[in-house]
Amino acid sequence: MRAVMKECARPYYLFDGEVRECPSFDENFVHKGTSLYEVVRLMGGRFLFLEDHLDRLLNSLNIAGIQSWINATGIRETLHILVDKNRISEGNVKIVMNLQEDGSRHYLAYFVYHRYPSSRDYNQGVRVITYPFERIDPNKKIWRPEFRRHVADTLYDAGAFEALLMDSGKCITEASKANVFAIQGGHVITPQEAVILPGITRHYVLEICHELSLEVTRKKISFDEIPDLEGLFLTGTSLHVLPVSRVNDHPLQVKHPVLTEIMNNFQQVINKHLN
Show the CA angle centred on residue 53, arms to residues 48 and 57, nearest 5°: 160
Domain ranges in the chain with CATH number 3.30.470.10? 12-112
For the sheet containing 46-47, what is the strand order?
18-21, 12-15, 105-112, 91-99, 34-43, 46-47
Amino acid of residue 56: R
> Among the CATH numbers 3.40.1170.60, 3.20.20.70, 3.60.20.10, 3.20.10.10, which is that of 119-274?
3.20.10.10
- Whether the predicted pLDDT of 255 surpasses 70: yes
* pLDDT tens for each residue of 60-117: 999 889 999 999 999 999 999 999 999 999 999 999 999 999 999 999 999 999 999 9
Domain ranges in the chain with CATH number 3.20.10.10? 119-274
Longest dimension (CA), the chain: 54
- Whether the predicted pLDDT of 225 surpasses 70: yes
Q: Which CATH class is domain 12-112?
A: alpha beta
* pLDDT tens for each residue of 90-104: 999 999 999 999 999
**Local confidence band at 123 (pLDDT 50, 70, 90 cut-offs):** very high
Q: Is the pTM of this model over 0.85?
A: yes
Q: Give the pLDDT confidence score for residue 3 in this predicted structure.
A: 46
- State the DSSP code for 117: P
Q: Helix 200-211 and helix 50-63: axis angle, to 10°?
A: 120
Count of Cβ atoms closer than 10 Å to residue 42 Cβ? 20
